[in-house]
Amino acid sequence: MLNIMRKFLVNAVKSSSLCNKQVYFRKTKMAVISVTQQNCALRNYSCPPGISFNYFLNRDVKSLRSVINPHISRIRNIGIMAHIDAGKTTTTERMLYYSGYIRTLGDVDDGDTVTDFMVQERERGITIQSAAVTFDWKDYRINLIDTPGHVDFTVEVERCLRVLDGAVAVFDASAGVEAQTLTVWRQADKHQVPRICFLNKMDKNRASFTYAVESIRQKLKTKPLLLQLPIGEARTFRGLVDVVTKEQILWKPTSDLDDGKNFEQKPLLEADDPNLFQEVQDARNTLIEQVADLDDEFAELVLGEHSENFDLIPADKLQSAIRRVTLAQKAVPVLCGSALKNKGVQPLLDAITMYLPAPNERSYEFLQWYKDDLCALTFKVLHDKCRGPLVFVRVYSGSLKPQSSVYNINKSCTERMSRLLLPFADQQIEIPSLMPGNIALTVGLKQSATGDTIVSSKASAAAAARRAGRDAGGEKRSTSDVESLLLAGVEIPDPVFFCTIEPPSMAKQQDLDNALSCLQREDPSLKVKLDPDTGQTILCGMGELHIEIIHDRIKREYGIETYLGPLQIAYRETTLNAAQATDVLDKTVGDKRHFVTAELEVRPRLGERAATKPVIEYAASVIEVLPKELQGAVENGITNSCIQGPLLGFPVQDIGVTVQSLTVHPDTSHTMISACVSRCMQKALKKAGIQILEPLMNLEITVSEEHLSAALADLAQRRGSVQEIQSRQDNRVVVAAVPLAEMMGYSTVLRSLTSGSATFTLELASYQALNSQEQSALLQRRMGLV
Ligand SMILES: Nc1nc2c(ncn2[C@@H]2O[C@H](COP(=O)(O)OP(=O)(O)OP(=O)(O)O)[C@@H](O)[C@H]2O)c(=O)[nH]1
């Protein structure tokens, strides 16, 4: 019955070896995994041999299966997002504990949390993959996704955001808004995800509620609604006051167990603390005014019967109005606490159910085309050695059933799904169906990759495509246009680093290819290609940490010891000038003569921002006579020639192309047209002269005053230009632009310069032209001359 509950990828406990080469390690305390077999059994990471799953269930872990498909209004699909180290995993762990799904509190520093289950996550104390867990809080089903904070895994955050209805942004209350918070906040804006803010780490020495709120207001350009005030700060932090109800919540340790389960909730009286009482009174009045400004229904109530005395405004009316403005993304509720010290997480859970939307309160354009047919999105793939790929799906409409066939629009294939599982905390429960709004794991889908759209059949995809086509305002669209309307894709930024990867022997090449294709299905930001000159496999990633983790996973999960070549920068090429070229192709294959002449002009598109696809135009004389079906062949030829630039083989970007003349013999195949156009393009690009572009990064370093000058001196040697130095509490934040080529191994250097006290984030800003000296030095290096 419960035979499918097994934790995936949890051989972590068996491993205690450490990766020697570390790009990013957070804590010295994390040096060795300390999860013992005994811990493992208690935490139920996996089922040890000889012990049935019932063994675990019969102990006091909450029964998980009372309601498999709760009413949609009772579901919350929530993400936890933040800058690295803000405390997402610790907060998630507390949520699972207070909701009764785990019986011991895990700690990221001890490497035994539920959601950071990969070996690398536990060793390093960082989240790499997003993890989805399901639990119930009061009468609500919460599907929660803990996302990574490190900038190399931003794509992972974005693809999760698509399937979320709401998010909790976690902040370190001593740091306020940090670099990566801004990135994930922008992503959440893009996907229009309503949010609440949780100011974590209120127990830390330099924690400041006021500072953190101010930084949210200024840097995120949003309206914070203060729903709580802290009682005490830093060492004295001991509780909160609920501004809406004016109740104080004080955590009191009972005996020697301070797990935060016990707290006292009672009205705050003036006699308790007159200053705090007044502060709460003022905060409530401000909150009421703020909400009334944003919500007409509440404004009527405030201006009508309660205009004389805000105290009489019922808490539930204020809560409903806060919910409306949060859902409309006009403002963001702010709560506070300390996950590590077990304070503030239960009110946060209440706020999630109270203020964040249910799936049916969100509007998704594509739903109208599916009506009640199945529409689901895959947002994560894991590979389980026994069960094959496990694909996380979110159902938007219709329902999913095990032992059924589904159609994958992206891959244009029908697949059979064998089982459906709910990822309840660290167990998986088999379920008979999955209804709209809910999230589950599927077993059996072999082709589906992260980001695919799943429907019930090819016919249902075609019906949705017809409806989408009709809704396009009568405008005629191609099948591919309509299909793209049906899919909610995630833009994947181009990788900035690459390196060669080689198996220990040729015999292992096939295994390596299989491992890489599995990893690519899990992680669309990982690109793998073949070097056409050397035949070597090239791994392209979002950063040093990304590539290092992939290398490590190939070794641990697939048992292949690979060799990585030196990490290289993914440069780009563009043209310096405009140039024209002509080409003629005249080939007879069998009894068919293929004849094409092409004349093209290429030119730089100045001011364009990393437009990887060339902008193609046609001379009037060409467009008048060129049949639509040949246009595709011409454009393929142009686009393909931009994949590898003529100078160093890097992609060509920011160019415009005009097809000035084209003659095609009637029997000519499309492949021959593309080949001729492509050759013509290569000639034109060479004539135009190539300029190499290098990735320019936004760098943000948080460093103490004491180490500021050392960090700045080092930056100057790296062609870095400092744009701003901000103050963040006692620290300085240096905002700079630095070429990526100068940042290799920066974490090690910064660590030694600042005795490990500084942190930094690096994010692609743009591409900049190398000057002629730098360009010729690079050419010489690439040709092995220096
Ligand atoms: N003082 C204090 N430390 C905390 C608190 N919450 C988390 N931490 C610590 O902060 C560090 C980071 O915690 P995590 O929960 O891993 O943070 P995260 O945001 O999940 O990190 P990534 O997923 O790697 O981005 C760990 O050392 C935690 O013990 C808190 O409330 N107070």
Q: What does 130-189 look like in DSSP terms, one character per residue?
A: -EEEEEEETTEEEEEEEPP-SGGGHHHHHHHHTT-SEEEEEEETTTBS-HHHHHHHHHHH
**Alpha-helix runs per DSSP H in 491-575:** 509-522, 544-558
Measured CA to CA, the distance from residue 192 to residue 197 in angstroms comes to 15
Q: In a mutational test of the pocket of ligand 1, which residue from 107, 108, 348 has the highest number of ligand atoms less than 8 Å from its CB?
A: 108
338 has which bridge partners? 343
CA-proximal residue: ligand 1, atom 27 (nearest): 109
- Cβ atoms of 15 and 33 within 8 Å: the answer is yes
| 732 SS3 class | strand
Contact 108 CB / ligand 1 (< 6 Å): yes
Measured torsion, CA atoms of residues 764, 766, 772, 778, in degrees rounded to the nearest 10: 30
Measured CA to CA, the distance from residue 106 to residue 300 in angstroms comes to 47
Contact 85 CB / ligand 1 (< 6 Å): yes
CA-proximal residue: ligand 1, atom 8 (nearest): 87
Q: What is the DSSP letter of 587?
A: E
CA 296, chain centre distance (Å): 35
Which pLDDT value is given to residue 607? Answer: 65
Q: Which atom of ligand 1 is nearest to the CA of 343?
A: 31
Contact 160 CB / ligand 1 (< 6 Å): no
Measured CA to CA, the distance from residue 490 to residue 160 in angstroms comes to 10
Pairing of strands 388-397, 572-575: unpaired
Query: Residue 279 has which token pair?
Result: 């502060």
Tell me the C-alpha to C-alpha distance, in Å, between residue 417 and each of 393, 403, 447, 448.
Answer: 12, 5, 11, 11
Which pLDDT value is given to residue 66? Answer: 56
Contact 651 CB / ligand 1 (< 6 Å): no
Fold adopted by 693-783: Alpha-Beta Plaits (3.30.70)
Q: Which atom of ligand 1 is nearest to the CA of 27?
A: 27
Which pLDDT value is given to residue 18? Answer: 28
Contact 82 CB / ligand 1 (< 6 Å): yes
Q: What is the DSSP letter of 50?
A: T
Query: Residue 779 has which token pair?
Result: 């050419």
Fold adopted by 367-486: Elongation Factor Tu (Ef-tu); domain 3 (2.40.30)
Contact 338 CB / ligand 1 (< 6 Å): yes
* Strands (DSSP E) found in 705-751: 721-728, 731-739
DSSP secondary structure letters along 379-429? EEEEEETTTEEEEEEEEEES-B-SSEEEEETTTTEEEEE-EEEE-BTT--E
Which pLDDT value is given to residue 762? Answer: 79
Instruction: Provide the annotated binding site for GTP.
Output: 82-89, 146-150, 200-203
85: CA distance to ligand 1 center in Å? 5
Segment (H or E) for 595: strand 592-604
Q: Burial level of 689, CB count in 10 A (0-12/13-18/19+)? A: middle
| 341 SS3 class | coil
Measured CA to CA, the distance from residue 225 to residue 246 in angstroms comes to 15
Contact 111 CB / ligand 1 (< 6 Å): no
261: CA distance to ligand 1 center in Å? 20
Contact 521 CB / ligand 1 (< 6 Å): no
416: CA distance to ligand 1 center in Å? 40
Answer left, alpha or beta for residue 264, where phi above 0 means left and psi between -120 and 50 means alpha. beta
Task: Give the position of tokens 């199945």.
Answer: 374
Residues in the chain: 786
Q: In a mutational test of the pocket of ligand 1, which residue from 85, 181, 342 has the highest number of ligand atoms less than 8 Å from its CB?
A: 85
- Cβ atoms of 368 and 264 within 8 Å: the answer is no
204: CA distance to ligand 1 center in Å? 11
Task: Give the position of tokens 């500072």.
Answer: 211
Measured CA to CA, the distance from residue 364 to residue 366 in angstroms comes to 6
| 439 SS3 class | strand
Contact 88 CB / ligand 1 (< 6 Å): yes
Residue 55: count of CB within 10 angstroms of its CB: 13
171: CA distance to ligand 1 center in Å? 10
Which pLDDT value is given to residue 216? Answer: 94
Query: Residue 501 has which token pair?
Result: 């990867």
Measured CA to CA, the distance from residue 482 to residue 464 in angstroms comes to 9
Measured CA to CA, the distance from residue 613 to residue 642 in angstroms comes to 8
CA-proximal residue: ligand 1, atom 21 (nearest): 85
Measured CA to CA, the distance from residue 155 to residue 494 in angstroms comes to 11
Indicate the domain borders of the chain.
66-355, 367-486, 497-558, 574-688, 693-783
Contact 200 CB / ligand 1 (< 6 Å): yes
Which pLDDT value is given to residue 381? Answer: 82
CA-proximal residue: ligand 1, atom 14 (nearest): 87
Q: Which residues, other chains included, contact 294 with Cβ-Cβ below 8 Å and sequence gap of 6+?
A: 223, 325, 328, 330, 331
Instruction: Provide the annotated binding site.
Output: 82-89, 146-150, 200-203
CA-proximal residue: ligand 1, atom 4 (nearest): 340
Contact 35 CB / ligand 1 (< 6 Å): no
Q: Burial level of 517, CB count in 10 A (0-12/13-18/19+)? A: exposed
Measured CA to CA, the distance from residue 401 to residue 524 in angstroms comes to 27
Measured CA to CA, the distance from residue 392 to residue 456 in angstroms comes to 16
Measured CA to CA, the distance from residue 175 to residue 340 in angstroms comes to 16
- The reply to whether domains 497-558 and 574-688 share a CATH topology is no
Query: Residue 641 has which token pair?
Result: 């020639």
DSSP secondary structure letters along 603-643? EE-TT--S--SPEEEE-HHHHHH--HHHHHHHHHHHHHHTT
CA-proximal residue: ligand 1, atom 7 (nearest): 87
Contact 488 CB / ligand 1 (< 6 Å): no
Which pLDDT value is given to residue 128? Answer: 55
CA-proximal residue: ligand 1, atom 23 (nearest): 127
Q: Which atom of ligand 1 is nearest to the CA of 84?
A: 25
Which pLDDT value is given to residue 243? Answer: 95
66-355: which CATH architecture? 3-Layer(aba) Sandwich (3.40)
Q: Considering the domain 574-688 in this protein, what is its CATH number?
A: 3.30.230.10
Q: Which residues, other chains included, contact 9 with Cβ-Cβ below 8 Å and sequence gap of 6+?
A: 117, 118, 382, 384, 557
331: CA distance to ligand 1 center in Å? 26
pLDDT digits 0-9 by tens, 212-270: 999 999 989 899 999 999 998 888 898 999 999 999 999 876 656 678 888 888 999 98
- Cβ atoms of 250 and 220 within 8 Å: the answer is no
The C-alpha angle with vertex 557 and arms to 552 and 559, in degrees rounded to 5, equals 85
Distance in Å from the first CA to the final CA of the chain: 66
Task: Give the position of tokens 């009482």.
Answer: 277
Contact 761 CB / ligand 1 (< 6 Å): no
Contact 76 CB / ligand 1 (< 6 Å): no
Which residue type is seen at 254?
T
**Low-confidence residues in the chain, pLDDT < 70:** 1-67, 106-131, 148-152, 154, 156, 253-257, 307, 424-427, 469-492, 607-611, 785-786
Contact 125 CB / ligand 1 (< 6 Å): yes
750: CA distance to ligand 1 center in Å? 21
761: CA distance to ligand 1 center in Å? 17
Q: Which atom of ligand 1 is nearest to the CA of 147?
A: 23
Query: Residue 538 has which token pair?
Result: 């090239």
Contact 127 CB / ligand 1 (< 6 Å): yes
105: CA distance to ligand 1 center in Å? 14
Q: Which atom of ligand 1 is nearest to the CA of 337?
A: 31
Tell me the C-alpha to C-alpha distance, in Å, between residue 294 and each of 194, 310, 327, 480.
Answer: 15, 17, 12, 41
Pairing of strands 721-728, 615-618: unpaired
Measured CA to CA, the distance from residue 28 to residue 25 in angstroms comes to 8
Q: Which residues, other chains included, contact 781 with Cβ-Cβ below 8 Å and sequence gap of 6+?
A: none
- Specify the CATH superfamily of domain 497-558: Elongation Factor G (Translational Gtpase), domain 3 (3.30.70.870)
Contact 734 CB / ligand 1 (< 6 Å): no
Which residue type is seen at 204?
K
